[in-house]
C-alpha cells in the first residue's frame, strides 16, 4: 500500500552503490525525490535515471536530492552508476522480507502489475516527493518514463515556490507565540 500524500515517509536504511548505509532521516531538512525503478541498466530504467542525472543541478538548486531504489544489489548499483555517471545515490533494496524487497513493498512500489497482458509481481515505477519535514508532498504511481525527470523538477520548483509563499503568509507557531508574549 503506498504512503499517502501528507503522511510521514517511512524511514529506512539501505546501502548505496558504494556500500555506504543511507537513511531517509539523514535527508531531513531537504526535499527528497525518492524514485523506485525495476532494474539497473535496462532501457527504460536507464532513460529515467539519466533524466534525473541531467536534472540534478536544477534539482539541487531547488534544494532537492535524488535517491533511486531497486531490488538489485550494491555491485549492480555501482556498475549502473559508473556506466551512466549517475551523481546521486542508488539504493539496494536487496534484503527481502520474506520474498519481497522490504522498502519497495512498504512504499507500495512492489506488488501486482500488468505487463504485456499478464499479471506479475514486481516493481511498479513510483516516485515520491518528500518535503524537508519528511512528509510526502506528492506521489506519482505507475510512472511513464518519457519526460518524468522534467515533470518532477517542475513539481519540486512549484512546491518550493508554494512553501516559500506559504511561510510568508502564515507565521509559524513559534512566531505566533512570540507575538502573543509581546502583547502581554
pLDDT score at 164: 59
CA atoms within 13 A on the CB side of 56: 15
50 is catalytic: no
Question: What is d(CA 108, CA 4) in angstroms, rounded to the nearest whole number?
Answer: 10
What is the average per-residue pLDDT within 6-18? 97
- Note the pLDDT tens digit of each residue in 128-141: 999 999 999 999 99
Catalytic-labelled residue, pool 3, 24, 31, 45? 45
Pairwise pLDDT comparison (42 vs 95), residue with the higher score: 42
DSSP, res 3: P
pLDDT digits (tens, 9 = 90+) for 87-96: 999 999 998 7
User: 149-171 pLDDT, tens per residue?
Assistant: 999 999 999 998 887 544 333 33
Q: Is residue 49 pLDDT above 70, yes or no?
A: yes
Does residue 22 sit in helix, strand or coil?
strand
**Arithmetic mean of pLDDT, 32-60:** 97
pLDDT for the residue numbered 98: 66
CATH architecture of 13-183: 3-Layer(aba) Sandwich (3.40)
Q: Between the CA of residue 177 and those of 73, 173, 180, what are the distances in Å?
A: 49, 6, 5
For the record, the C-alpha cell of 164 comes out as 516559500
pTM: 0.86
First to last CA, the chain: 49
Which range is least confidently modeled, 57-61, 84-88, 109-113, 126-130? 109-113
Every domain of the chain and the residues it spans: 13-183
Question: Which band of pLDDT confidence, cut at 50, 70 and 90, is reported for residue 99?
Answer: confident
Amino acid at each position: 500500500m503506498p504512503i499517502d500524500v501528507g503522511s510521514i515517509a517511512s524511514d529506512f536504511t539501505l546501502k548505496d552503490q558504494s556500500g555506504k548505509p543511507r537513511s531517509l532521516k539523514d535527508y531531513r531538512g531537504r526535499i527528497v525525490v525518492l524514485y523506485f525503478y525495476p532494474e539497473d541498466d535496462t532501457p527504460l530504467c536507464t532513460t529515467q535515471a539519466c533524466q534525473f542525472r541531467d536534472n540534478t543541478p536544477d534539482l539541487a538548486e531547488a534544494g532537492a536530492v535524488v535517491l533511486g531504489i531497486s531490488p538489485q544489489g550494491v555491485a549492480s548499483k555501482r556498475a549502473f552508476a559508473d556506466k551512466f555517471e549517475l551523481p546521486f545515490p542508488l539504493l539496494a533494496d536487496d534484503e527481502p522480507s520474506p520474498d519481497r524487497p522490504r522498502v519497495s513493498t512498504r512504499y507500495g512500489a512492489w506488488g501486482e502489475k500488468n505487463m504485456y497482458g499478464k499479471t506479475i509481481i514486481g516493481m511498479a515505477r513510483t516516485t515520491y516527493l518528500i518535503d524537508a519535514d519528511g512528509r510526502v508532498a506528492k506521489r506519482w504511481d505507475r510512472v511513464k518514463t518519457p519526460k518524468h525527470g522534467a515533470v518532477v523538477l517542475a513539481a519540486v520548483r512549484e512546491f518550493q515556490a508554494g512553501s516559500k509563499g506559504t511561510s510568508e503568509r502564515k507565521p509559524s507557531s513559534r512566531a505566533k507565540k512570540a507575538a502573543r508574549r509581546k502583547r502581554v
